[in-house]
Amino acid sequence: MSKEVVVVFTARRLERILAEEGTSAWRLDPNRTRRCEFVVCTRNARSHFDQGNWGEGPEDHNAAFVIGKILKVVPSMVPPENNESVKDRYLIQFSEFARVNIPNVRNGDRNPVKYTSPEKLGIDFSKLKWEAMPEPDAIPAPVVESLTASISSIGPLTMAEAKKGLALTFNVPPEAIEITIRG
């Protein structure tokens, strides 16, 4: 029996996914996702909110356009486009990725996150051309914009919030942050 694959339905373009080190801001089961070997990103070409259309990619609606080998599943620092909180949202980090163009991988499910088998997708992951992830340059622009917008509202923080903020500052996952309080 093969491992499950997670399929996500995203409006973000490939360049942004690579800059963010994976696909982010998902409400998902992190433990189940960690057991998956691959994440298949399918295009949401019709997404829009009150601010207007925010779909970024040129691919056909429901087409798979990038597949990532899952490195880690960590709390997301990047807010979703609908301005909801990052609380309980996750980033699926890639160790490698493959550019693909496979039409109609997503079948119109209502949930933007789906778990399935590689056999049901009909994708031979062993035949893909895998590329190394680019080195992270800095904090992605959407994260900087979100931090700038919320800086004036900083008040008392929980340890988890402090770790998330420091993780953004130092471009590391929150679980890499250790906080010692003396006093």
Span 136-167, pLDDT tens digits:
765 455 555 554 554 445 567 788 877 877 77
Q: What is the pLDDT of residues 63-85, one digit of tens each?
A: 999 999 999 999 987 766 666 66
- pLDDT tens sequence across 85-110: 667 889 999 999 999 999 999 987 88
What does the chain come to in residues?
Answer: 183
Q: In the chain, where are the structural domains located?
A: 5-132, 141-176
**What mean pLDDT do residues 24-42 have?**
94
Q: pTM higher than 0.75 for the full model?
A: no
Q: Does domain 5-132 have CATH number 3.30.410?
A: no
* Residue 121 CB contacts under 8 Å (≥ 6 apart), including other chains: 5, 7, 40, 105
Q: Dihedral sign for Cα 67, 65, 56, 19, please.
A: positive
